[in-house]
């Protein structure tokens, strides 16, 4: 019901007020209530996106800029020409006023005149007092504030430890040249023996089913094909560079990442969102990389986050409270730092976005693909996948134009491909 929607007395009272006044259609109020049912990200950048001032992918540009700047997010966005001072002020006001947030959500789903919204907000305190409803939201605000200096320190530390090996950087750069040949890539890869060995291992694995064993890196690249080289090199590098935890924990983490990558690849091959299968796989592989970075670079914060989750907190909320950054922020920042396409930055940033946000924001096709893959990656293999598909949310299926039959048809191939690739990259131990 309304009073259980958000856990915040002020916003619960405001929804009751809108219903009592019959100010808006019931379905519009319910859409807004659904948005606030899960703790939201109310940092200035996300509020500016909600208000239509900022493009989703511009958030990462500003976050990356904070590494070398002492300015706050809003100040830096103004300096970069992405926001005006007036827009920052409006976003800050909305950040601390829940009633304004409600109307920003509603505004994007239903036309509401600004004057009408202001009139309703102005009359709300009197209605709340007359009906014994709380309008004090002060207790909800402290946890929403982000320590800018702490965020900068975290970003600088992530930057320091997350630089890709020089050879890998060169290979990824070479792959952007449509005229590059495999022989040149092979010579470069030989400068990093561990990655070269992984490329050989994968080329000779069951994934590619070759009759003649590849004995050189050049031959291995021919087996893999140009379209697969970037995926293989990047996957091998990430698994080598980010491996905090026990052997079992690391293996489970990377298998799950490969699984999401395979779901993304399969969805892209279906062609519904015009996304490159290769790009989709890389985006899927990197969706939760931020979680591994938190575990590896900030182990104390990782433990604090896990404790909050065990006590019932939402994961993203726990990350923001402990770090000032979420794992989607970190993954998207790394994609930006490594000069990946902006479509991948956005897709990683919004891989946990709710259906209401997908409908509301103007997101790129890859974002939908990887968002769907993230949710489908939570399905268990085998017979349990049927049960998992039956409880997929209708909102999720509608947002992705997907029936329940499609995941069931895709699942056997996706799980088999993920197992084969994991075996080739991680081995059987």
Same domain, residue pair 118 and 262: no
331: enclosing H helix or E strand:
helix 327-337
Average pLDDT over residues 13-33: 81
Q: Could you tell me if residue 165 is inside a domain? A: no
Among 165, 42, 45, which Cα is nearest to 98's?
42
What's the rounded Cα separation, in Å, for the pair 349 and 60? Answer: 8
Residue ranges making up the domain that contains 348: 242-426
Q: Could you tell me if residue 87 is inside a domain? A: yes
What's the rounded Cα separation, in Å, for the pair 129 and 98? Answer: 17
Q: Could you tell me if residue 155 is inside a domain? A: no
Task: Using the 3D structure, point to which of 64, 90, 123 is the last residue of a domain.
Answer: 123
Same domain, residue pair 246 and 117: no
- Note the pLDDT tens digit of each residue in 324-370: 899 999 999 999 999 999 999 999 999 998 887 777 777 889 999 99
Task: Using the 3D structure, point to which of 87, 103, 123 is the last residue of a domain.
Answer: 123
CATH number (domain holding residue 278): 1.10.3210.10
Same domain, residue pair 404 and 256: yes
User: Do 344 and 366 touch, CB atoms closer than 8 A?
Assistant: yes
Instruction: State if pTM tops 0.75.
Output: yes
What's the rounded Cα separation, in Å, for the pair 216 and 126? Answer: 78
Q: Could you tell me if residue 194 is inside a domain? A: no
- Note the pLDDT tens digit of each residue in 124-145: 888 888 887 766 554 444 444 5
Q: Per the structure block, which two tokens stand in for 14?
A: 């405001």
What's the rounded Cα separation, in Å, for the pair 291 and 144? Answer: 21
User: Do 373 and 263 touch, CB atoms closer than 8 A?
Assistant: yes
Secondary structure of 268-323 as H, E, C letters = HHCCCCCCCHHHHHHHHHHCCHHHHHHHHHCHHHHHHHHHHHHCCCCHHHHHHHHH
Task: Using the 3D structure, point to which of 123, 145, 171 is the last residue of a domain.
Answer: 123
Q: Per the structure block, which two tokens stand in for 306?
A: 């896990």
pLDDT band, residue 241 (cuts 50/70/90): very high
Q: Per the structure block, which two tokens stand in for 386?
A: 């049927």
User: Do 73 and 43 touch, CB atoms closer than 8 A?
Assistant: yes
Count of domains observed in the chain: 2
Q: Could you tell me if residue 234 is inside a domain? A: no
User: Do 101 and 94 touch, CB atoms closer than 8 A?
Assistant: yes
């Amino acid at each position: 019901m309304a009073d259980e929607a958000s856990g915040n007395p002020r916003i619960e009272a405001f929804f009751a007020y809108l219903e009592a006044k019959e100010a808006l259609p019931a379905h519009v109020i319910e859409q807004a209530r659904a948005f606030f049912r899960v703790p939201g990200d109310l940092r200035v950048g996300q509020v500016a996106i909600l208000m239509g001032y900022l493009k989703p992918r511009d958030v990462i540009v500003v976050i990356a800029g904070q590494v070398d700047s002492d300015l706050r997010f809003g100040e830096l966005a103004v300096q970069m020409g992405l926001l005006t001072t007036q827009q920052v002020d409006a976003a800050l006001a909305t950040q601390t006023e829940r009633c304004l947030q409600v109307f920003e959500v509603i505004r994007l789903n239903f036309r509401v005149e600004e004057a009408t919204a202001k009139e309703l907000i102005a009359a709300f305190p009197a209605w709340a007092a007359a009906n014994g409803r709380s309008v004090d939201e002060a207790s909800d605000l402290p946890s929403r504030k982000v320590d800018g200096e702490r965020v900068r320190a975290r970003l600088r530390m992530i930057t320091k430890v997350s630089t890709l090996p020089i050879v890998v950087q060169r290979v990824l750069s070479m792959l952007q040249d449509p005229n590059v040949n495999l022989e040149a890539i092979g010579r470069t890869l030989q400068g990093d023996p561990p990655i070269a060995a992984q490329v050989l291992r994968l080329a000779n694995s069951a994934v590619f089913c070759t009759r003649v064993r590849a004995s050189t890196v050049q031959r291995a690249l021919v087996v893999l094909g140009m379209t697969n080289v970037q995926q293989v090199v990047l996957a091998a590098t990430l698994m080598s560079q980010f491996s905090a935890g026990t052997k079992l924990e690391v293996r489970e983490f990377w298998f799950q990442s490969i699984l999401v990558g395979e779901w993304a690849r399969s969805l892209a091959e279906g062609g519904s969102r015009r996304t490159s299968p290769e790009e989709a796989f890389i985006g899927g592989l990197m969706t939760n990389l931020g979680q591994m970075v938190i575990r590896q670079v900030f182990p104390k914060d990782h433990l604090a986050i896990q404790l909050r989750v065990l006590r019932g907190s939402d994961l993203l909320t726990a990350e923001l409270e402990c770090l000032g950054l979420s794992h989607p922020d970190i993954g998207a920042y790394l994609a930006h730092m490594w000069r990946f396409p902006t479509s991948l930055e956005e897709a990683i940033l919004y891989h946990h976005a709710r259906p209401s946000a997908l409908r509301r924001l103007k997101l790129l096709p890859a974002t939908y693909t990887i968002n769907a893959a993230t949710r489908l990656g939570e399905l268990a293999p085998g017979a349990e996948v049927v049960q998992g598909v039956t409880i997929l949310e209708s909102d999720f299926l509608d947002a992705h134009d997907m029936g329940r039959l499609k995941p069931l048809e895709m699942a056997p191939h996706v799980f088999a491909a993920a197992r084969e690739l994991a075996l080739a990259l991680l081995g059987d131990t």
